[in-house]
Chain A
Amino acid sequence: MMTTVVIQTIARVVVPFLQLFGLYIIVHGPVSPGGGFQGGVIVGASMILLALSYDLSSAETKVSHKVRIAMDSTGALLFAGIGLLCLLAGGVFLEYGIIPLPMVPAEVRGLMILLVGVAIGIHIMALAASLFLHLAEEHDT
């Protein structure tokens, strides 16, 4: 794959802002439009931009295959774990308000909504990057 120094410089400047914007959308999900799915895709797209403007191996060194698989599973497990935490606390599956934290139940639910968004974001960002990198790998070799 051939890229020029212009593309590489622009990508190097844009990628951190893309990732910051994606994380902002994930964390700001409870307050403004957005959330885990949308923000996760933006962070994943920043890795795709890196792979397109440099090469696949440079993106691979930033987040290796093992790290992506681990993030993928962590996101899904974190969501399910929050649900099971509610069962342990004596409530119904995914009944966030029951989790005993030193806060008003409404605030606990708000916090858990944020955590669920982060879990979705971790899952989606790893999966979006993984799918592209592995499909591109097929063509590259």
Chain B
Amino acid sequence: MIRAKHVVPVLVLLGIGIILTMAVIDMPAFGDPEAPAHRHVAPRYIARAYEETGVPNMVTAVLADYRGYDTLGELTVIFAAGAAVLSLLVGRKLKEES
């Protein structure tokens, strides 16, 4: 049974779905060497990472050095989430004890 209040959400969902499907169809093929992600800075990392950082593991060099800001943000997010969860858990225990 179709209700009036369901029409608008279904239409919005269909619209978003169509847009997302079009975006997915436009994506480069999996592993395509000509994809924008593989042509931007990746060749420079591959060519220069070892001489610039002296670290044989290119993944770590990108993670901790070239994209250090991103990793610091990641650590900050985990720290904030952990601090929030721990304050909830420990705070409740302290409250029960008092």
Contact = CB atoms under 8 A, between A and B. Distances in A.
B60 A117 contact: yes
A30 B57 contact: yes
A51 interface: no
B78 A30 contact: no
A65 B82 CA distance: 13
Contacts of B59: 33, 35
Interface in A29-45: 29-33, 35
Interface in B46-82: 51-57, 59-61, 63-65, 68-69, 71-72, 75-76, 78-79, 82
Interface residues of A, number: 39
Interface stretch (B6-14, B20-28, B35-43, B85-93): B85-93
A31 B53 CA distance: 12
Where chain B touches its partner, the secondary structure class is helix
A31 B64 CA distance: 13
B86 A79 contact: no
A30 to B, nearest CB: 4
B69 A113 contact: no
